[in-house]
Amino acid sequence: MVGIDNESYPPLYWKTAAGRWVGWEMDMLHAVCARIKLRCIEKEFAWDGLIPALESKQIDLIWGSLSITEDRAKVIDFTHFYYDTPIIIIGPRDEPLHVRCEALGTLGGYAIGAEAGSTLARFLLINAPKTVNVKTYDTMDNVLADLAIGRLDFALEGGSTLAMFLNSNPEFEPKSTCPADPSFGAGIGGGLRKQDRELNARLSAAILGLSADGSWDAITARYPQISRFLIKP
């Protein structure tokens, strides 16, 4: 049983009208499972319920843009990362302010948003000075809704999550690509219980196999709207 976030983030993953989960992440999941001859069935949870569901054995794997971080690795194990993505700040195309992740003080008087509970919200709350209005939201959709109507000046998130918004809203653009930071994690991986080492080894080998034989590239080519934001293992 595979736990996934119950929020839709197309084209990474989304729920169709028929109730089926589809998208790049789902294609990659099923390719990994097929490679090791596992039948993987998705089960939806609220984002903050995924790790508790894994620990209570309601699911055996978390799959869905879960960043590999030191804090999470104290509680669960991760497969080899199956993709990485640049962390970017986006804002209005006509905003002339020079924005840099490593100099958040330049955003004094501006509002920047991120999804509550994410590694990026934590990064802002720790690193942004008090002159910056950091806003956190229950979903990324609500971050982008406020950005679109001007309640936010900027948003911070992985490029893969922001790709569809940028494609549909040409009046917004990436303002800065953030340099690597330990708080951003070491890519995106599947989450497992620490005792499930054999399953972890099989899944990780499958991920690396898909990368090596061209399957990862073939799946990614189906989603040109995000391919520029996906870094393969």
Which single residue is written with the structure tokens 């100099």? 103
Answer whether residue 44 shows pLDDT above 90: yes
pLDDT tens, residue by residue, 99-138: 999 999 999 999 999 999 888 999 999 999 999 999 999 9
In this prediction, residues 184-192 reach a mean pLDDT of 92
How many distinct helices (H) and strands (E) make up the chain?
9, 12
Q: DSSP assignment, residue 138?
A: S
* Structure confidence at residue 230 (pLDDT): 95
- Percentage above 90 pLDDT, the chain: 85
* Structure confidence at residue 166 (pLDDT): 95
* Structure confidence at residue 184 (pLDDT): 85
CATH no. of 2-83+186-227:
3.40.190.10
26: amino acid identity, one letter: M
* Structure confidence at residue 9 (pLDDT): 85
In this prediction, residues 199-220 reach a mean pLDDT of 98
* Structure confidence at residue 182 (pLDDT): 81
* Structure confidence at residue 21 (pLDDT): 95
Which residues pair with residue 2 across a beta bridge?
42, 61
Tokens of 147: 């950005």
User: Which phi and psi (to 5°) does residue 10 adopt?
Assistant: -65, 150
* Structure confidence at residue 64 (pLDDT): 87
Is 87-184 assigned to CATH 3.30.300.30?
Answer: no
- For the chain, the average pLDDT equals 94
Entry pTM: 0.84
Place 48 in a pLDDT band, splitting at 50, 70 and 90. Answer: confident
pLDDT tens, residue by residue, 4-33: 999 888 899 999 999 999 999 999 999 999
Alpha helices in the chain (DSSP H): 24-35, 50-55, 70-73, 119-127, 140-149, 159-168, 197-212, 215-220, 224-227
Each domain of the chain, given as residue ranges in start order, spans 2-83+186-227, 87-184
CB 85 within 8 A of CB 95: no
In this prediction, residues 51-69 reach a mean pLDDT of 94
* Structure confidence at residue 73 (pLDDT): 94
Nearest to 113 by CA among 149, 86, 69, 84: 149
Tokens of 126: 């720790």
Q: DSSP states of 158-178 as a string?
A: EHHHHHHHHHH-TTEEEEEEP
* Structure confidence at residue 118 (pLDDT): 86
Nearest to 184 by CA among 129, 130, 135, 231: 231
Answer whether residue 80 shows pLDDT above 90: yes
